[in-house]
Amino acid sequence: MPSQNTKGSLRRNFLKQAAAIGGVTLLGSKAFAQASPTPAWKNQIGLELYTVRDLMMSDFEGVLAKVAEMGYREVEPASGYNNMDPKTFRTMLDRYNLRMPSTHSGARGTGAELEKQLEGFQIMGIGYTEILGDRGPGAAGPGPGGKLAPGAYYNPGTGITRNSFTETEAFGPYQPPVTIESVKRRAAQLNADGKIARKFGMKIFIHNHTGEFEKLSDNDRTSYDVLLAETDPELVVMQLDIVWAAIAGMDVIEMFRKNPGRYELWHLKDVVGLKTVNRSLSPNARVSSMAFVPLGAGQMDYKPIFANAKLAGLKHFCVEQDNAASWGDSLAAARVSCRNLLNILS
């Protein structure tokens, strides 16, 4: 784990970056408009709203307005839709010239209620979703009463188990070993969900952390291997969280080569610790050696990854910093990430 001195230095550098750019609008300014033509990816930078969740709790629309002002053109919600109906929510997005191609606040339930929610998703412009049903996404999870790591807790509403890390759950769900049959059952459910979503012009996505790259409890394959093999590419796509995969020891570009076109969605993070982590550790064990930072301030090199975007099948991507609030100002962290990503994509 990086030392407190290291973390303090990272935060000080971040605050200098934030102060340097202040409230400058990265898109729409005269200076930006007069710049040379930009690659298409620069015009659709997205933000996973989990990054600024602490501020959205008290000022949902105000935060959206500031996100749009920074230069973000797409957003991905993770904590619902501010109790707004789909038409009103879409009007709000349009007001700030924002699109919402994917959502982590997936549809729930079954039957007519589920289809009503998916109709609402259509109105909001969503093309990729999860369907949680009444079972949650954790068909491969431990379930209530399963063995958990110290400090972890199980959420029966979502089927996800989380660790109690101090930086506001910065390091994601804890995923214990699972059997090949449980993952195959999950894949079958994802395909069934995909058939429902297809009626509304949508696809189901699979998001990863590190646990998907652990060996199965009864097989040398990983959950990720099985999910790729058992899901229908016409119905189910991968939302590749690039840094979680890198932490797990994966070569992201090699993943694109092995399964071209499957990675239509990306999550972009940055992290310190990749270069010094003990590579003999398992994917889950590596996370305690990491510290998330604003994009561009860490050790991920996104230029070669974006150079392979066509091979991956990329359609949409969004920035996410799980622990942005712990840096003192989650919006400032998002602003630094946007500016740095614009530079990377130049």
Give the per-residue pLDDT at 150: 44
pLDDT tens string for the chain (346 positions)?
Answer: 455 555 555 665 655 555 554 443 333 333 333 333 334 899 999 999 999 999 999 999 999 999 999 999 999 999 899 999 999 999 999 999 999 999 999 999 999 999 999 999 999 999 999 998 664 443 334 433 345 444 444 454 444 455 434 443 445 566 778 999 999 999 999 999 999 999 999 999 999 999 999 999 999 999 999 999 999 999 999 999 999 999 999 999 999 999 999 999 999 999 999 999 999 999 988 988 899 999 999 999 999 999 999 999 999 999 999 889 888 899 999 999 999 999 999 8
Amino acid at 211: G
In this structure, are residues 298 and 272 in contact, taking their beta carbons and an 8 Å threshold? yes
As a dihedral over the C-alpha atoms of residue 53, residue 59, residue 65, residue 68, rounded to 10 degrees, the angle is 0
Give the pTM.
0.83
Q: What is the DSSP string of 26-66?
A: SSSSHHHHTSPP--GGGGG-EEEGGGGHHHHTT-HHHHHHH
Q: Rounded distance, CA 60 to CA 80, Å? A: 11
pLDDT score, position 250? 98
Distance CA 265, CA 238 (A): 6
- Place domain 4-14+44-344 in its CATH homologous superfamily: Divalent-metal-dependent TIM barrel enzymes (3.20.20.150)
Q: For residue 161, what is the enclosing H or E element?
A: strand 160-162
Q: Within a 13 Å sphere around the CA of 342, how many CA atoms are in the beta-carbon half?
A: 19
Name 138's Cβ contacts closer than 8 Å, sequence gap at least 6. 158, 159, 160, 161
pLDDT score of 141 = 40
Domain range list for the chain: 4-14+44-344
How much is the pLDDT for 132? Answer: 87
